[in-house]
Amino acid sequence: MNPEKVLFGFFIVLALTLNFGFFVGELDNPDHHHVYELFAVIVVNMVATVLKFGDRTQMGAVLLATSLVALLQLFAAALVWVVAVHVTETGLTTVATASIVSLSGGAMLANVVSVVLLIIETVMLRR
């Protein structure tokens, strides 16, 4: 067993499950989506992205691309949160919350693609 692959798989799956946990709930209800959960999703996705930098295969390039897409979506969600709460000081309205959750949903879709690609790569490995 390759510990590097275990760590890599762990962070990819953790990124997906944390993102799912943040995404689940009523789309426009701020009580169902916590800022620390979004922060955890961003941090774990960043770690997963950094772990993908060492892979020089075509599959590694696609995995890195999906991670970058997820990070872009999550940074946009965090930016919407910061603007809604701290810049405009309107707080988490239903519109802002729906935008944040929708952006995290896009990141979750990118994480699903990463996990599916990881499973395909694992199945195709030959000893």
pTM: 0.91
The 10s digit of each residue's pLDDT in 21-39 is 999 989 888 889 999 999 9
28 residue type, one letter: D
Q: What share of the chain is helix, strand, coil (3-state, %, to 5)?
A: 80, 0, 20
Task: Give the Cα-Cα-Cα angle 67, 73, 76 (nearest 5 degrees).
Answer: 140
Structure tokens at 118: 């990881």
The 10s digit of each residue's pLDDT in 80-113 is 999 999 999 888 899 999 999 999 999 999 999 9
Domain span including residue 84: 3-124
What is the spatial distance between Cα 10 and Cα 87, in angstroms, rounded to a whole number?
36
What is the spatial distance between Cα 92 and Cα 65, in angstroms, rounded to a whole number?
31
| pLDDT of res. 97 | 93
Q: What is the number of structural domains in the chain?
A: 1
